[in-house]
Amino acid sequence: MAAKPLLGNNAFLLPIYDVNNKQKPLVYTMLLCPLKAGKQYKLSFYLYTAERHFYSIDFAFVNKSPVTVGFDPYAAVPDLKISGADIVATVKGWSAVERIFTATKDARFLILGNINSHADMRYRQSDGMNRAGLVSYFLDEMLLQPIIPESPCSQLEANRELMHAQDLRHTEYAVAEEPIPIDTPGILMDTLTLPAVLFKTGSAVIDPRFTNLLDSVIASLSRYQIKSLEVIG
């Protein structure tokens, strides 16, 4: 556990309940190093609820990315349900939370929030923290570490880069993004033939009788973006 919370300066806002029952937002993250089945870990963080009652936070460790198409995060079974029983101290209004557990499976991702605890919570309309009616918890200094210290996994830096690369504020079935192809504007090549009848006999001078006709042709051409014009003959 870190010595003290950072007093909300860089706290993480975790949506936990919607008093309007319109949405059940969840949060997920990739783990820098995978969780290994059978190993013991310690989860610790600081919690602030802005004077709302603290019910619980669900933690589900999964091996598949939660934003994979077809993956239902609400079908996940929480591995941990952090509650008031896990609060070990209070520091300047923040609750220090600790839980030691044994991983039951390998996992690369963590889903946290209110996975299946909605019916157990009794928040009122006045508890909503914004117009949408969301109740959120503030988390700080979250740590997930093996009980027996070990060297960092070989994929730590690569995973860190993957985490930083996904900078979308909201994600729905987000995948590694491919550059969006830019369509090259099509170039239309056309030929405009002026019949010889428009010219005086044996001359390049246009017969004045047809100048109005040519003016209308020029007006029509002015509506297009012409890249080049080649006169032949």
d(CA 97, CA 85): 9
| Phi and psi, residue 209, nearest 5° | -65, -20
Write out the residue range of the structural domain in which residue 94 sits.
12-165
What backbone phi and psi angles, to 5 degrees, belong to 86?
-95, 0
Domain membership of residue 193 (yes or no) is no
- List the CATH number of the domain containing 149: 2.60.120
CB 46 within 8 A of CB 86: no
Flag whether 160 is in a domain.
Answer: yes
Among residues of the chain, what percentage have pLDDT more than 90?
A: 42
Mean pLDDT estimate for the chain: 82
Give the pLDDT confidence score for residue 4 in this predicted structure.
Answer: 59
- Residues 129 and 125: their CA atoms lie apart, in Å, by 9
For 67-85, the pLDDT digits (tens) are 888 888 888 999 999 999 9
pLDDT band for position 212 (cuts 50, 70, 90): confident
pLDDT at 147: 95
Per-residue model confidence as pLDDT tens digits over 108-144: 999 999 998 888 899 999 999 988 888 999 999 899 9
Q: Express each pLDDT in 151-189 by its tens digit.
A: 999 999 999 988 888 766 555 444 545 566 666 666 777
- pLDDT for residue 169: 55
The secondary structure of residue 172, as a DSSP letter, is: S
Name the more confident of 204 and 1: 204
Considering the domain boundaries, does residue 50 fall inside one?
yes
Are residues 54 and 96 in contact, defined by beta-carbon separation less than 8 angstroms? Answer: no
Residue 73 lies in a domain: yes
Only one residue has tokens 């609820």, namely 49
Residue 73: CB atoms within 10 A of its CB come to 17
Q: Is residue 103 part of a domain?
A: yes
Contact 153, 21 (CB under 8 A): no
55: enclosing H helix or E strand: none
Cβ-based neighbours of 44, under 8 Å, separated by 6 or more: 1, 2, 96, 97, 98, 99, 141, 142, 143
Is 222 within a domain?
no
What is the Cα 119 distance to its own chain's centre? 27
Alpha-carbon distance values, 47 to 5, 61, 97, 122, 206 (Å) = 9, 20, 7, 19, 87
pTM above 0.75, yes or no: no
Confidence of residue 49 (pLDDT cuts 50, 70, 90): very high
* Tally of domains in the chain: 1
Give the span between the Cα atoms of 130 and 19, in whole angstroms: 10
DSSP H helix total and E strand total for the chain:
2, 9
Dihedral class, residue 24 (left if φ above 0, else alpha if ψ from -120 to 50, else beta) = beta
- Within-domain flag for 195: no
